[in-house]
């Protein structure tokens, strides 16, 4: 079957890697993610990934921790590299070639982020994992995902979450919340729906880069998305 998308940027949260744990990694989650990613690579889809670091370190209020924001953000960037290494290990264990690129130089464990090299890797069928966010404090991994997707000319951002799309309200708190099949960028803004942080969202809107929000924890959902099936919520112009 011919996939709907040839090149995608998969955005994953660090918290998702915890599974039912309160910290760190759930090996079963990493194994499931790796299997799902392999299924779309075998379909011929070119894949890049940005992953958060919230399972290891989440920026906390400076007044509570005594850690200034910029310093804490750098700690979070290092956490994303650890998560990238964990996902890389899971993928390579099942035979998927990967490259880990970091926005902060750490040559012993990751390539430096170089746009043209990243594009060449995905063209050759390797999965590229982007670590350390943008390399700058005050920017989230959502923003890093939007930026990298635009830089490598991805056709869509696939935002894997633990809910199956965008709702009128938080479905975990409001049982009567209804799901959007498709929604425009402007509607998300007018309804104050927090799909991503505003910097990341604006980047996508200005560059006409669609976003699909879907449940990554349901096996085969990723494959269904790239086949063009109606999974999750599509955000578009």
Range of the domain at 64: 7-162
Give a yes or no: residue 16 inside a domain. Answer: yes
Please state the domain count of the chain.
1
Q: What is the CATH number of the domain that holds 146?
A: 3.40.1160.10
| HSE-up of residue 225 (Cα within 13 Å, Cβ side) | 34
Q: Return the minimum-mean-pLDDT range out of 40-49, 125-134, 186-195.
A: 186-195
- Residue range 154-192, pLDDT digits in tens: 999 999 998 899 999 888 889 899 999 999 999 999 999
- Rounded to the nearest 10°, the torsion over CA 72, 74, 75, 80 is 130
User: 3-class SS at 117?
Assistant: helix
Give a yes or no: residue 142 inside a domain. Answer: yes
Spatial separation of the C-alpha atoms in residues 121 and 13, rounded to whole Å: 23
Q: Which helix (H) or strand (E) holds 151?
A: helix 141-151
Give a yes or no: residue 2 inside a domain. Answer: no
Question: Token pair of 62, please?
Answer: 């400076």
Give a yes or no: residue 145 inside a domain. Answer: yes
Give a yes or no: residue 230 inside a domain. Answer: no
Give a yes or no: residue 167 inside a domain. Answer: no
Spatial separation of the C-alpha atoms in residues 208 and 107, rounded to whole Å: 34
Note the pTM of the prediction, 2 decimals: 0.95
Give a yes or no: residue 212 inside a domain. Answer: no
Spatial separation of the C-alpha atoms in residues 83 and 17, rounded to whole Å: 8
Give a yes or no: residue 220 inside a domain. Answer: no
- Residue range 59-79, pLDDT digits in tens: 666 667 788 989 999 999 999
């Amino acid at each position: 079957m011919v996939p709907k998308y040839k090149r995608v940027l998969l955005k994953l949260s660090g918290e998702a890697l915890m599974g039912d744990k309160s910290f760190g990694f759930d090996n079963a989650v990493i194994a499931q993610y790796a299997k799902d990613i392999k299924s779309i690579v075998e379909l011929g889809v070119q894949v890049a990934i940005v992953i958060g670091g919230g399972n290891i370190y989440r920026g906390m209020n400076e007044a509570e921790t005594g850690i200034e924001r910029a310093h804490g953000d750098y700690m979070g960037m290092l956490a994303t590299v650890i998560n990238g290494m964990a996902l890389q290990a899971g993928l390579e264990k099942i035979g998927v070639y990967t490259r880990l690129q970091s926005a902060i130089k750490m040559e012993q464990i990751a390539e430096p982020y170089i746009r043209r090299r990243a594009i060449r890797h995905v063209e050759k069928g390797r999965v590229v994992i982007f670590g350390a966010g943008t390399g700058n404090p005050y920017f989230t991994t959502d923003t890093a995902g939007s930026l990298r997707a635009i830089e490598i000319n991805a056709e869509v951002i696939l935002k894997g979450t633990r809910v199956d799309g965008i709702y009128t309200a938080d479905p975990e708190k409001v049982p009567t919340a209804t799901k959007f099949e498709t929604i425009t960028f402007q509607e998300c803004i007018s309804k104050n729906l927090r799909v991503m942080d505003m910097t990341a969202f604006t980047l996508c809107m200005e560059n006409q880069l669609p976003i699909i929000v879907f449940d990554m924890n349901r096996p085969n959902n990723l494959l269904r998305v790239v086949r063009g099936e109606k999974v999750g919520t599509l955000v578009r112009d």
